[in-house]
Amino acid sequence: MSQTQKTNWGQFIPLVTVFFFWGFVASSNDILIPVFKKAFDLSQGESQFVSLAFYIAYTVGSIIYMIVSAIMGKDLINKIGYKNSLSLGLLISALGTLLFIPAANLESYPLMLAGLFTVALGFSLQQTVANPLAIALGNPSTGSQRLTLAGGINNLGTTIGPLIVAYAIFGSASNGDSNLSIEAVKTPYLCLGLAFLAVAIFLKFSSLPSHPEQEVEDSVDTVSHKDRSSALKYPQLILGMIAIFLYVGV
């Protein structure tokens, strides 16, 4: 990959839509906690399963990914392609939003949690694909700049997500209606599912690369890393994992 290669904005801009979704949904989940607590008569601890079901899916998704890759004998994303993996992740998330229909009809809290878990399961695959793909869509030396921009789009979703979801769920509350039905949760998440599906189809037929070129490290860097047979042997990865763990926890 040439060091003079410029960012492919035609491919990068569609890619950052998934970054927006991650922030939008993750921050909107906090709106569901008081709604579920009242609708299902939950304790404070029980209502926090909303966050647990969502974020534990990232760990479960990563484990599934590693197991499937080990069984295949090849990295899953490299096998089916980056673009297909991204679309698959969006379809999994869309499936999760569909669970909100029977969950609302049956007034089932476990089914609601299953829906959130499935949405986040799709996100775990999307994030595995989107972050390295954002770096690959241009000069690797400016990859951090693209990730920072994508992070800004993610923060935009984090900012407006709770506002939109809260208005969609509590819109009638302004009229003094204190008997909020769990049915109110269904509509915004079904709209979100349609958005997932639309973007999945769009990305499937977009110009995003299925197997982006891999940057070849210079000879000095290659020699210094020749004995590192596992990603976990890179200290910056371990430190990064700790930093992300603390960041999400906070």
Q: Which of 132-141, 149-158, 178-187 has the lowest mean pLDDT?
A: 178-187
Q: What is the mean pLDDT of residues 186-193?
A: 90
- pLDDT in the model for residue 212: 81
- pLDDT in the model for residue 151: 92
Looking at mean pLDDT, say which of 6-20, 45-59, 133-147 comes out highest.
45-59
Residue 222 within a domain: no
- Residue 155: CATH number of its domain: 1.20.1250.20
Residue 90 within a domain: yes
Domain that holds residue 133: 9-211
Taken in order 245, 154, 77, 132, is the CA torsion positive or negative?
A: negative
**Long-range contacts: 203-206, Cβ < 8 Å, 24+?**
203/14, 203/15, 203/83, 203/86, 203/87, 203/90, 204/83, 204/84, 204/87, 206/11, 206/14, 206/83
- pLDDT in the model for residue 206: 87
Between 242 and 210, where is the model more confident?
242
- pLDDT in the model for residue 30: 87
Question: For the chain, what is the domain count?
Answer: 1
Give the helix, strand, coil percentages of the chain, each rounded to 5. Answer: 80, 0, 20
Taken in order 66, 29, 22, 165, is the CA torsion positive or negative?
A: positive
Residue 48 within a domain: yes
Residue 137, phi then psi, degrees to nearest 5: -85, 50
Q: Model pTM? A: 0.85
Q: What is the mean pLDDT of residues 215-226?
A: 45
Residue whose pair of structure tokens reads 């599912």 in the numeric block: 193
Query: If pLDDT is split at 50, 70 and 90, which confidence band does 231 have?
Result: confident
- Mean pLDDT, the chain, whole residue set: 86
Name the token pair of 26: 């993750």
- CA dist 215 and 15 (Å) reads 20
- CA dist 87 and 82 (Å) reads 9
- pLDDT in the model for residue 215: 45
3-state secondary structure 78-94: HHHCHHHHHHHHHHHHH
Residue 13 within a domain: yes
- Residue 28 above 50 pLDDT? yes
Q: Would you call 137 helix, strand, or coil by DSSP? A: coil
Give the largest Cα separation in the chain, rounded. Answer: 69
Q: What angle do CA 55, 91, 207 make, to 5 degrees?
A: 115
Residue 247 within a domain: no
Residue 28 within a domain: yes
- Residue 83 above 90 pLDDT? yes
Query: If pLDDT is split at 50, 70 and 90, which confidence band does 166 have?
Result: confident
| % of the chain with per-residue pLDDT over 90 | 53
